[in-house]
């Protein structure tokens, strides 16, 4: 077999490397290089059936699709197409200059049984016709298979992936995660794939889950796969082409999608929307303003001749799908992806099940949950309180927070934020009578008054009317609180009667200093239990804003150690503060350890790039303040992490720490 000239001998992609541009949790905007340009993710690859072109590839390109996917098995089995592809290459045959990905025939085996091609042959064919990204002939693991059959299919899929990696040449290879609905098999498959020279990780075998609206199972499958996949390569959700699930899948770290549905549904007379699929014949109005629907009425669209109508619906379906990816991207950039996902998951009860399935994975999701976001926490329903940001607060409150020495606590009802402003007068009145500490029963659980400005507490917006789920959650968390924090007396604030009771109990002069308590509590919350004591050892002075009376800077023994950020109520660390933390917390805690050749740059205040990272505190989360050190644990700089440890060590390109201040020798 003669290949298309110049392509086989192109650059060999040992492994593709994503460059991370923006992230929120597992969701990311990234890009990677291909032989036909840089592909930005998340992105949608329309499926082009070379025997049944609904929208010409050139038109796809004009619509802004940078990549498409076609089927090499169909091309190879059609003598005319096969000859053209071999002679002129896929790009010329399709008339498309963008990225061409090919699938291998696995899907045909899912649809019609066995396929008559060997893995090595179909992979070599994809390579020889110039596919930018080719796919292994994986085994489609069906959800109704038993464990043993599935495990065997995973084993064979991995064997074939190794074989494909050895012959991929200059083509990027997509190695598919199989394992059906067995989380351990998915995880094992994903881990094994990560060690191979695979460039893209499609998650396969999910079409039956999509078709059966088994979205909760889909969530479990994506999570199990993501747990095992090395983070520096793109993840493709194979055969998931409905805008209903894009935001959810993007939230879980899927970077690429393909859609055959846009054309299949169009042939069936069905229109896709993020809210679901609707049959044109049953629709009673047209509210779509996409370039194809614009100017149409429902009657004019329904009245089109069949071929034109199919094309119009296919175009509509593509526009809507593309727009939904853009919508999710925008939400990601603005810090509101969770809100978008929660809204989208209200489109169908099966999606609500998927949203609820996320709660099971909050521990895993919290690992990459940023310390704070620009956007506020908007409550959309009881599921909002299972977001990793709420779980983060709950966990850190119970694990890191220590109560001050007051033996009496007064608990206020939830109110507008920040609580310390709203309850300033009440706290003053109480403090005139006794020595008390203050908490608020927030929907996030108990909030000591000194943590009231911390993200997401102050940055959260809840409806005034509480639903029963939230009531119950608050009750449970308050119960847990009363068992874990030993106040002598704890009482709910109920106005004048409470004041009288407190006066009678008379614990004496108030000694509660909200500002000092805030510095200590936020430091413990942010850096770990004990950080406050380390940082505040000495003579503490606070610089406060004249306008807002909020803490700006913390000085200890005359050294500026911390600055408090108004937007998220958390600290920016300064080198003298970092030095104090380093004395109490052994390496690698709070550290990012870099190679020697990075040292002079970081000391100058230049950013840390992944390539130079040797190690990192496994507890570091995106947006965390970190101390950049060399392998001798000398401080080189202070900055904010953009990644977790595993990412810093896996990515070769891109920013690991945005340095704020270098430390000269
Ligand atoms: N298209 C949809 N699902 C799959 C899959 O599991 N494997 C491959 N190769 N293609 C697919
Ligand atoms: Zn439309």
pLDDT digits (tens, 9 = 90+) for 284-306: 999 999 999 999 999 999 999 99
- Contacts of 151-154 with CB under 8 Å at 24 or more apart are 151/182, 151/185, 153/178, 154/178, 154/179, 154/185, 154/188, 154/189
CA of 215 to the centre of ligand 1 (A): 17
Of 71, 185, 198, 202, the residue with max ligand 1 atoms within 8 A of its CB, to mutate for a pocket test, comes to 202
Domain 5-262 belongs to what topology?
A: TIM Barrel (3.20.20)
Cβ atoms of 204 and 177 closer than 8 Å: yes
Catalytic residue of the set 24, 78, 97, 103:
103
Query: pLDDT by residue (tens digit) across 78-97?
Result: 999 999 999 999 999 999 99
Cβ atoms of 245 and 352 closer than 8 Å: no
Average pLDDT for residues 562-585, to the nearest whole number? 98
Q: Is 376 exposed, middle or buried (0-12, 13-18, 19+ CB in 10 A)?
A: middle
Q: Say what the pLDDT of residue 14 is.
A: 61
For residue 549, count other CB atoms closer than 10 A to its CB: 9
Q: Is 307 exposed, middle or buried (0-12, 13-18, 19+ CB in 10 A)?
A: exposed
Could you tell me the pLDDT band of residue 512, with boundaries at 50, 70 and 90? very high
Q: Which ligand has an atom closest to residue 323 CA?
A: 2
Query: pLDDT by residue (tens digit) across 310-352?
Result: 999 999 999 999 999 999 999 999 999 999 999 999 999 999 9
CATH of domain 377-512: 3.40.50
Average pLDDT for residues 625-651, to the nearest whole number? 97
For residue 64, count other CB atoms closer than 10 A to its CB: 12
Among 94, 21, 91, CA closest to 55? 94
* Element of type H or E holding 60: helix 57-63
Torsion, Cα 615 616 619 624, to 10 degrees, reads -160
Q: Say what the pLDDT of residue 4 is.
A: 45
Angstrom distance (rounded) from CA 548 to CA 116: 73
Ligand 1: does its nearest atom lie under 6 Å from the Cβ of 238? yes
Q: Say what the pLDDT of residue 10 is.
A: 44
Q: Is 103 designated active site?
A: yes
Nearest CA to ligand 1 atom 6: 204
* Element of type H or E holding 59: helix 57-63
Q: Say what the pLDDT of residue 16 is.
A: 72
Angstrom distance (rounded) from CA 396 to CA 459: 17
Angstrom distance (rounded) from CA 571 to CA 561: 10
Q: Which two tokens stand for residue 423?
A: 């309850």
Nearest CA to ligand 1 atom 10: 107
Q: What is the pTM of this model?
A: 0.96
Report the DSSP beta bridge partners of residue 461.
378
Cβ atoms of 253 and 235 closer than 8 Å: yes
Q: Say what the pLDDT of residue 375 is.
A: 86
Query: pLDDT by residue (tens digit) across 106-134?
Result: 999 888 888 889 999 999 999 999 999 99
Q: Which residue has the tokens 């709070």?
A: 590
Which atom of ligand 1 is nearest to 140's Cα?
A: 6
Q: Which ligand has an atom closest to residue 288 CA?
A: 2
Which atom of ligand 1 is nearest to 137's Cα?
A: 9
Cα→Cα distances 396→225, 501, 529, Å = 27, 32, 9
Domain ranges of the chain: 5-262, 377-512
The radius of gyration computed from the CA coordinates of the chain, to the nearest angstrom, equals 28
User: Greatest CA separation found in the chain?
Assistant: 96
150 pLDDT exceeds 80? Answer: yes
Q: Say what the pLDDT of residue 614 is.
A: 98
Could you tell me the pLDDT band of residue 403, with boundaries at 50, 70 and 90? very high
Ligand 1: does its nearest atom lie under 6 Å from the Cβ of 418? no
Tell me the pairing of strands 571-573 and 559-564.
antiparallel
């Amino acid at each position: 077999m003669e290949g298309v000239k110049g392509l086989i001998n192109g650059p060999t992609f040992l492994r593709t490397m994503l460059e991370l541009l923006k992230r929120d949790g597992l969701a990311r905007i990234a890009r990677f290089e291909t032989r036909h340009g840089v592909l930005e993710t998340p992105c949608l690859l329309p499926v082009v059936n070379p025997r049944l072109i609904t929208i010409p590839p050139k038109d796809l390109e004009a619509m802004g699709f940078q990549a498409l996917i076609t089927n090499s098995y169909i091309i190879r089995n059609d003598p005319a197409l096969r000859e053209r592809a071999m002679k002129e290459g896929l790009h010329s045959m399709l008339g498309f200059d963008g990225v061409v990905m090919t699938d291998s025939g696995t899907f045909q085996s899912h649809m019609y049984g066995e396929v008559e091609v060997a893995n090595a042959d179909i992979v070599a064919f994809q390579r020889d016709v110039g596919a930018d990204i080719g796919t292994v002939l994986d085994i489609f693991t069906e959800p109704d298979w038993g464990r043993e059959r599935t495990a065997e299919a995973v084993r064979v899929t991995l064997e074939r992936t190794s074989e494909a990696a050895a012959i991929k040449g200059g083509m990027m290879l997509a190695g598919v995660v199989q394992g059906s609905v067995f989380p351990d098999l998915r995880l094992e498959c994903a881990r094994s794939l990560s060690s191979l020279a695979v460039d893209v990780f499609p998650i396969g075998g999910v079409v039956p889950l999509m078709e059966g609206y088994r979205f909760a199972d889909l969530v479990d499958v994506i999570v199990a796969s993501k747990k095992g996949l090395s983070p520096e390569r793109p993840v493709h959700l194979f055969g998931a082409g409905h805008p209903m699930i894009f935001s959810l899948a993007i939230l879980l770290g899927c970077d690429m999608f393909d859609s055959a549905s846009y054309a299949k549904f169009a042939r069936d007379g069905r229109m896709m929307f993020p809210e679901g699929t609707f049959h044109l014949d049953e629709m009673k109005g047209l509210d779509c303003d996409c370039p194809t629907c614009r100017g149409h009425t429902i009657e004019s669209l329904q009245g089109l001749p069949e071929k034109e109508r199919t094309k119009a619906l296919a175009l509509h379906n593509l526009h809507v799908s593309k727009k939904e990816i853009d919508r999710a991207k925008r939400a990601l950039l603005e810090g509101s992806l969770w809100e978008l996902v929660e809204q989208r998951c209200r489109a169908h009860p099966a999606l609500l099940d998927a949203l609820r399935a996320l709660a099971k994975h909050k521990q895993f999701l919290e690992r990459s949950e940023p310390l704070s976001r620009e956007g506020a926490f908007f409550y959309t329903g009881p599921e909002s309180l299972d977001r990793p940001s709420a779980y983060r607060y709950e966990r850190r409150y119970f694990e890191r927070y220590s109560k001050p020495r007051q033996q009496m606590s007064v608990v206020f009802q939830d109110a507008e934020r920040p609580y310390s402003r709203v309850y300033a007068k009440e706290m003053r009145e109480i403090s005139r009578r006794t020595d008390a500490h203050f908490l608020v029963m927030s929907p996030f659980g108990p909030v000591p008054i000194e943590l009231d400005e911390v993200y997401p507490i102050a940055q959260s917006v809840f409806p005034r009317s509480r639903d029963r789920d939230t009531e119950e959650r608050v009750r449970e968390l308050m119960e847990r609180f009363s068992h874990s924090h030993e106040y002598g007396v704890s009482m709910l604030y109920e106005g004048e009667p409470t004041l009288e009771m407190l006066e009678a109990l008379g614990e004496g002069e108030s000694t509660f200093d909200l500002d000092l308590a805030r510095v200590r509590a936020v430091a413990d919350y942010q850096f770990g239990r004990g950080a406050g004591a380390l940082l505040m050892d000495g003579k503490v002075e606070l610089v406060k804003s004249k306008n807002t009376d909020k803490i700006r800077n913390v000085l200890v023994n005359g050294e500026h150690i911390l600055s408090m950020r108004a937007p998220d109520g958390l600290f920016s660390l300064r080198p003298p503060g970092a030095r104090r933390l380093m004395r109490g917390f052994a390496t690698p805690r709070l550290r990012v350890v870099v190679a020697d050749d990075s040292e002079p740059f970081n000391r100058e205040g230049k950013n840390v790039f992944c390539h130079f990272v040797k190690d990192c505190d496994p507890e570091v989360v995106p947006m965390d303040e970190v101390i950049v050190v060399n392998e001798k644990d000398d401080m080189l700089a202070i900055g904010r992490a953009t990644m977790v440890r595993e990412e810093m060590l896996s990515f070769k390109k891109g920013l690991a720490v945005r340095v704020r201040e270098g430390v000269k020798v």
